[in-house]
Homo-oligomer: A and B are copies of this chain.
Amino acid sequence: MTNNSGSAVLQPEQEMLNWGRLILDGVPYADLVSARDRDPSVTWFEHWMQTAANYERLGETAESRGHTISAGEYFVLGSLAAQYAQFLWFDDRRRAGQERKVELYRRAAPLLNPPADRFEVTVDGATVPGYVRTPTTGEGPFPTAVLLGGLESTKEESYQFEQQLLARGIATVTFDGPGQGEMFPEVPLRGDYERYTSAVVDYAEKLPEVDSSRIGVVGRSLGGHYALRSAALDDRFIACISWGGFADMDSYDDETPMTKESWKYVTASSTDEESRERVMTLMDVRSELHKLRVPTYIQHGMHDEVPVSEVEVVKQLAVDAPLTIVIEPDGDHCCHNLGPRPRIEMVDWLEEQLKPRS
């Protein structure tokens, strides 16, 4: 495989794939090995869609036998498989994989422990779909974390991270915003993601299980950018985590070819230049960072493609926010390569913000 200039380029699954990320998000190691070692005549997409179908069948069998916990686990595994089938391509496979991911997670949702309760709110006439999960033990209303997906991650993929929050007594709210998952066909990437976050908070804060005075926002990758924007512009958030995020996209030209393809897709741009222009204009929170006043946790890996200088930008502009900055010298994008510790540390920090001990 060669690019236009004739030099060798990597297969998408070689360029983008991060085993650390997939495994921490719940993809079985065995499934990754199986995908890597698959019959070469079977495409990556076909292989993972078949994996998703296998888990769906296992889920159906388990459910029919009354094994609801197992059924939920299988449907989540199927949903993850469909996610990673499509996330490297930007043609019909993208939509097909996304639809399967959504479908399988919807089947999982009522079977999870705790269940994920689907909701839909409306912004500008468009539907914003999401899920709420609340801890199984302890007395509500609960401190709550609103979780934001990124460039190609959606509300279905934070399942494992939700488990960590829920185990510590924190409710979770996830949704798809502009350019993400279920919303993308109706609303591509926009520069006002915070309006969607706020609409979700409008809904969530009225739930009896949500303590409206103790809501934090956590965003990963592009979601880390959205988290900064959301916390700066909605004072109902009392804490913010930008996990591998950024303030601006001035470094757009340094992104990998695959990531540029992904930006082009989510902005629904016709040309590379149009995509570049939109991303650099819309993905810029610098003018708002002075409004950020709540405790904010910035996690960044030194080996991230997103330049660590983005942390400096936040430091210089978010002058009124108490910042906790964690730069991992050996970390990649979102520190997926470092195992459970960085995630546990974020969760513990958030718990301290949302559940201060007297």
Name A's B-contacting residues (CB within 8 A): 19-20, 23-24, 28-31, 33, 58, 62, 65-67, 69-70, 73-74, 77, 113, 136-137, 167-168, 337-341, 344, 347-348, 351-352, 357
Contact = CB atoms under 8 A, between A and B. Distances in A.
Contact of A348 (B28, B31, B62, B113): B62
A30 B339 contact: yes
Given A62-B348, A167-B113, A352-B65, A30 B338 contact: yes
A354 to B, nearest CB: 13
Contact of A344 (B19, B73, B137, B351): B73
Contact of A19 (B29, B74, B113, B341): B29
A23 B113 CA distance: 22
Contact of A337 (B33, B67, B338, B351): B33
Contacts of A23: 23, 29
A35 to B, nearest CB: 12
A167 B72 CA distance: 12
Contact of A70 (B65, B337, B347): B347
A77 B167 contact: no
Contacts of A137: 136-137
Nearest 5 pairs between A and B by C-beta?
Answer: A30-B339, A28-B339, A23-B29, A67-B348, A70-B344
8 contacts: A20-B30, A29-B339, A30-B337, A31-B339, A67-B168, A70-B344, A77-B340, A137-B137
Contacts of A168: 67, 69-70
Contacts of A73: 340, 344
A208 to B, nearest CB: 20
Given A20-B29, A73-B340, 4 more contacts: A30-B338, A30-B339, A65-B352, A70-B348
B65 A348 contact: yes
